[in-house]
Amino acid sequence: MNVYDSEVLKGILFKKGYSETIKPQEADLIVVNTCSVREHAETRAIGRLNELSRYKLENPEIKLAVIGCMAQRLGEKFLKEVPALDFVLGTEELFKLPEYLDKKNEKPLVALSLSRLREIQVLPRRKHICTAFVAISRGCDNFCSYCVVPYVRGPEKHRKVSDIIKEVQCLIEYGCREVSLIGQNVNSYKDDGYDFADLLREVSKTDIQRIRFMTSHPRDLSPKLIQAMAFLEKVCEHLHLPLQSGSDKILDKMDRKYSSEDYLRLVDSARSKIQNLSLTTDLIVGFPGEKDDDFQKTLEMVDKIEFDSAFMFKYSPREGTKAFLSEDDVPQEEKIKRLQALIELQKDIAKKKNQELVGKTEEVLIDGKSKRDKANWKGKGRSNKTVIISKEKENKDLFGKIVKVRITKADSFTLFGEIEK
Ligand code: SAH
Ligand code: SF4
């Protein structure tokens, strides 16, 4: 969501005549978008902002802005952490940055209002991309006990179907082949009688080639959505379904509103209906009260389900959340130990699953060159797995093309292959 917000803001600033530089010393304006989900992200953001402050000391004309979740959370307090700031703009105010730049402010500006903004009016200019995010909703009403998102992004707001389609069409004009529909909880989407499955059907009617979405909450994963995924050809066979924990006691304390049994039933249903489904998840270790046997249940679920990949985190207490009131009683060393054990298990599973694809064909949307070997193109399969393509002549421009790739090799994170002739 932050990548998307930054792109939208960039589009608005381009419209005003700004252009982009990666050299801070050349900039008139430096913007740092921030995340509050875990403390680590916040510590890094403050470090980065203080580092960037030195350009402002050298040239006081430079404007320094912090935007996003952390700006929303800290507000005025941010000015104490980073005195050089000119703007502190929250998760919805950030789109007004260009307007605020026109006003001659003597003092730093802090703006945090959360309207029930339903739509982003400006269609961002996002040229030369073959895959793009499109937000379909903002905010969250779920209040999982560990999570700061509902506090910093406000209540869930859904964009209109027509606005979403307009944005997809605008992206198609710029050459985009794939859209990822994003929201904190996409499958609770509703607009004027349309639910998320209906929205997928509407987006499928456009000329976009592939559709992805994230994140889905297990509680809102309806049979209708599973059916839509199975039948709509453009919708990729990838489901990101955060489990968070394998222990029912912990799931209950997390206020996730499903049990491990419910989750297993959903997985069975999705896998039986959607061929070649790639299933990914989010997991947290060391939640308050997580005993060793709770953690073992997480390992057991991961072992049983065999996710294609997982984002795995140590619990980070977030002020203002319900879980913050419970003692953070799993020692740091224990959290690290559990996280490492979980990562090791998941790595082995991912490797096994990826190696099962050797000899098979993946449909890959090529989105650039491999970072490690610039001679090789890379892209994403429908499963959302990264595929590195070797043996293609460098002078052939494959950017944005969808090609069939025969997988020849695989590790835990990447597939390697050759284009089928
Ligand atoms: N809306 C999405 C994800 C939002 S945040 C969802 O419900 O799944 C992304 C992930 O960060 C979460 O799924 C969770 O695994 C993790 N996360 C959120 N708050 C956290 C915290 N306080 N400590 C550690 N991980 C957290
Ligand atoms: Fe946070 Fe839960 Fe909402 Fe996801 S669904 S953003 S984890 S409160």
Question: Under the phi-then-psi rule, with left for phi > 0, alpha for psi from -120 to 50, and beta for the rest, what region is 175?
Answer: left
Question: DSSP letter string over 294-358?
Answer: HHHHHHHHHHHH--SEEEEEE----TTSSGGGS---S-HHHHHHHHHHHHHHHHHHHHHHHHTTT
Q: Are 65 and 29 in contact (CB under 8 A)?
A: yes
Q: Supply the CATH number for residue 402's domain.
A: 2.40.50
The SS3 call for residue 133 is: strand
Say if 60 falls within a structural domain. yes
Q: Whose CA is nearest to atom 4 of ligand 2?
A: 184
42: tokens are 């916040």
CA of 360 to the centre of ligand 1 (A): 34
Mean pLDDT of successive 10-residue segments in the chain (421 residues)?
A: 91 90 93 97 96 93 96 97 96 92 87 72 69 93 97 93 93 93 96 96 98 97 97 98 98 98 98 97 98 98 98 98 98 98 98 97 94 89 96 76 96 95 80
Say if 305 falls within a structural domain. no
Ligand with smallest separation from the Cα of 42: 1
Say if 150 falls within a structural domain. no
CA of 408 to the centre of ligand 1 (A): 35
Among 63, 84, 111, residue at a domain's last position: 111
Say if 30 falls within a structural domain. yes
Q: Tell me how crowded residue 345 is: count the other CB atoms within 10 A of its CB.
A: 16
Instruction: Give the whole-angstrom CA distance, residue 165 versus residue 75.
Output: 34
Q: Are 210 and 177 in contact (CB under 8 A)?
A: yes
Question: What ligand 1 atom has the least distance to the C-alpha of 316?
Answer: 23
Residue whose C-alpha is closest to residue 219's, from 242, 191, 250: 242
Position 125 scores a pLDDT of 64
Residue 247 CB less than 6 A away from ligand 1: no
Q: Are 175 and 400 in contact (CB under 8 A)?
A: yes
Among 111, 138, 156, residue at a domain's last position: 111
Pocket test of ligand 2: the residue of 38, 217, 250, 258 to mutate, having most ligand atoms within 8 Å of its CB, is 217
Say if 352 falls within a structural domain. no
Q: What is the pTM of this model?
A: 0.95
Position 396 scores a pLDDT of 78
Q: Supply the CATH number for residue 85's domain.
A: 3.40.50.12160
Instruction: Give the whole-angstrom CA distance, residue 84 versus residue 63.
Output: 9
Say if 279 falls within a structural domain. no
Say if 41 falls within a structural domain. yes
Residue 25's domain comprises 2-111
Q: Are 194 and 202 in contact (CB under 8 A)?
A: yes
Say if 276 falls within a structural domain. no
Domain count, the chain: 2
Q: Are 305 and 342 in contact (CB under 8 A)?
A: no
Among 90, 111, 132, residue at a domain's last position: 111
